[in-house]
């Protein structure tokens, strides 16, 4: 065996064999039609099955891949399985998944125009298309970041920097106003930024409106630098009344950010678009392609109404970066809290460019229709109750008399039997469960069978 320093990088029979192994496995996995749900294993069991995997001499590619395929991968739940219905699933297209391999194989750096102009151009085409779908001006733009948490944080940092430039610092602490049902990443961003969150109770409907936001704006005045509206909450799929919140901008000065990580993709369907009236007035929005836009992990599209606000807030300055930052070229690293950056928008671009927007509209519409159909089935059944009628594709329901422990036992049995991954949830102290429907391969009959298992 060649033990020279270039052994891992040179094209040799060893590396050819390793690449062939990986590509063969990837092809089988991507084209599989019967990948099991799988389930987690306790650490002691993985230690028994896998043992110590890292050593001084290595175990060789064939053994390492076999260990992954037969031990490690089956200990990970398959998030693109049609019966993965918990949290917010992912359901990447085959084109997007395949192209994810190409992105890695091409050694593309996605942080600057100088180093990756072709990749940046393609990503920006997708961002422009999304901005147009959301009614934002042609000058809008942004960047693909890791996920919704980083997207929200980056947008809110830009919001605070804009407020600081416009009116200086407040007498007290900066304030973000959002719904009490806003995603946890908003509170996380506030902790990182060392600002306060005023969480407004949205009322029984769960929809945040301008009427309940206004008192917070009046109480905290110029300390409020941003209001966050949710475009599809994770727990219920609730869309806030963005239009009525946007109207408050005529009376108060604040940055309107729309967290549409899960739900904003619903605008692609004529069934979902009316729910998002007002998003065109947002100063920034996010949507995660790795959720309802069928891209692989991880990708969040962060779009600014005025991209220069993002650039002013996030451009990093250093002598070795001057060649990048002292130009007018579009460098994605300038628009969020990051520097080194994978071109994570390219798998989505390839799938969208390959299949066309119409295919995406049809897939999103199918999820919305299936959610309404299974909601009607739940209402029809004795002993089951919808907690709220779904706006988007999350269906939350209760079983009469069931405790938290009942839901937990049922959920564990479904996964143990490899029938479905449906986890317990709760609202206002009452236990429930939910279907998060995003995968176009999920069928009505599959959901009915899950309901039947509750008898």
Task: Answer whether CATH 3.40.50.300 is correct for domain 100-355.
Answer: no
| Residue 111 to residue 217: CA distance in whole angstroms | 37
C-beta atoms surrounding 129 within 10 Å:
13
Strands (DSSP E) contained in 235-353 are 255-259, 284-287, 300-304
Do 214 and 244 contact (CB within 8 A), yes or no? no
CA 361 to chain centre: 18
| Cβ atoms 35, 81 nearer than 8 A | yes
Contact 141, 330 (CB under 8 A): yes
Q: Which of 260, 288, 257 is nearest to 276 (CA)?
A: 260
Instruction: Output phi, psi for 23, to 5 deg.
Output: -70, -35
**pLDDT digit string, tens, across residues 189-199:** 999 999 999 99
> Each residue of 14-43: pLDDT tens digit?
999 999 999 999 999 999 999 999 999 999
Cβ atoms within 10 Å, residue 140:
23
Average pLDDT of the residues in 208-220 = 98
Token pair for 62? 């064939």
**Helix or strand or coil: residue 104?**
helix
Looking at per-residue confidence, does 130 or 316 come out higher? 130
Q: Is the alpha carbon torsion for 370, 371, 374, 376 positive or negative?
A: negative
pLDDT band, very low/low/confident/very high, at 327 (cuts 50, 70, 90): confident
Q: How far apart are CA 317 and CA 315, in angstroms?
A: 7
- Strand bridging mode 384-388 / 175-179: unpaired
Contact predicate 347/364, CB 8 Å: no
d(CA 37, CA 46): 18
pLDDT confidence of residue 324:
63
CATH for the stretch 358-452: 3.90.1150.170
Q: DSSP state, 239?
A: B
> What is the per-residue pLDDT across 65-97, written as a single tens digit (0 to 9) for each?
999 999 999 999 999 999 999 999 999 999 999
Neighbours of 118 (CB within 10 A): 12
Task: Please indicate whether the domains covering 100-355 and 358-452 agree at the CATH topology level.
Answer: no
408-447 per-position pLDDT tens digit: 999 999 999 999 999 999 998 999 999 999 999 999 999 9
Q: CA-CA distance, 191 to 195, in Å (whole number)?
A: 7
Render pLDDT for 283-322 as a digit per residue (tens, 0 to 9).
999 999 999 999 999 999 999 999 999 999 999 977 666 6
Say what the pLDDT of residue 2 is.
61
**Structural contact between residues 246 and 256, judged by C-beta atoms closer than 8 angstroms:** yes
Q: Whole-angstrom Cα distance, residue 122 to residue 345?
A: 8
Distances (CA, A) of 340 to 111, 330, 337: 6, 15, 10
34: Cβ contacts below 8 Å, ≥ 6 apart: none
φ/ψ region of 378 (left if φ > 0, alpha if ψ in -120 to 50, else beta) reads alpha
**pLDDT reading at 132 higher than 80:** yes
Mean pLDDT, to the nearest integer, of 201-230? 96
Total residues belonging to the chain? 455
Domain locations in the chain as residue ranges: 13-76, 100-355, 358-452
């Amino acid at each position: 065996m060649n033990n020279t320093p270039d052994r891992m990088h040179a094209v040799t029979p060893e590396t050819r064999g390793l690449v062939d192994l990986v590509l063969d496995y990837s092809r089988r996995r991507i084209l599989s039609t019967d990948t099991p749900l799988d389930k987690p294993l306790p650490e002691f069991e993985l230690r028994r099955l896998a043992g110590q995997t890292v050593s001084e001499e290595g175990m060789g590619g064939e053994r390492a891949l076999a260990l992954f395929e037969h031990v490690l991968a089956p200990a990970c739940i398959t998030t693109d399985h049609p019966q993965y219905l918990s949290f917010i699933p992912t359901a990447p297209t085959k084109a997007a998944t395949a192209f994810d391999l190409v992105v890695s194989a091409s050694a593309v750096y996605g942080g600057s125009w100088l180093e990756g102009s072709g990749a940046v151009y393609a990503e920006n085409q997708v961002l422009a298309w999304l901005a147009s779908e959301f009614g934002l001006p042609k000058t809008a733009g942004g960047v693909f970041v890791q996920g919704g948490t980083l997207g929200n944080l980056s947008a809110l940092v830009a919001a605070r920097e804009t407020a600081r430039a416009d009116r200086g610092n407040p007498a007290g602490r900066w304030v973000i106003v959002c719904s009490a049902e806003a995603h946890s990443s908003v509170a996380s961003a506030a902790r990182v930024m060392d600002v306060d969150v005023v969480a407004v109770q949205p009322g029984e409907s769960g929809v945040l409106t301008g009427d309940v936001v206004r008192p917070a704006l009046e109480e905290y005045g110029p300390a409020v630098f941003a209001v966050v509206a949710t475009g599809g909450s994770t727990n219920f799929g609730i869309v806030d009344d963005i239009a009525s919140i946007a109207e408050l901008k005529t009376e108060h000065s604040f940055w309107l950010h729309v967290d549409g990580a899960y739900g904003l993709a619903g605008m692609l369907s004529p069934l979902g678009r009316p729910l998002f009236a007002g998003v065109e007035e947002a100063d920034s929005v996010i949507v995660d392609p790795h959720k309802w836009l069928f891209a692989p992990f991880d990708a969040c599209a962060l779009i600014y109404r005025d991209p220069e606000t993002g650039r002013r807030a996030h451009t990093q300055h250093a002598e070795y970066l001057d060649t990048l930052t002292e130009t007018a070229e579009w460098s994605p690293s300038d628009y969020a809290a990051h520097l080194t950056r994978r071109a994570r928008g390219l798998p989505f671009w390839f799938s969208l460019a390959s299949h066309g927007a119409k295919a995406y509209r049809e897939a999103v519409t199918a999820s919305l229709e299936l959610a309404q159909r299974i909601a009607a089935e739940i209402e029809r059944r004795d002993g089951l109750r919808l907690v709220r009628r779904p706006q988007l594709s999350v269906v939350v329901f209760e079983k009469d008399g069931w405790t938290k422990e009942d839901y937990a036992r049922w959920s564990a049995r479904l996964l143990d039997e490899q029938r479905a991954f449906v986890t317990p949830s709760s609202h206002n102290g009452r236990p429930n469960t939910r279907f998060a429907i995003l995968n176009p391969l999920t069928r009505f009959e599959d959901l009915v069978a899950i309901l039947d298992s509750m008898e």
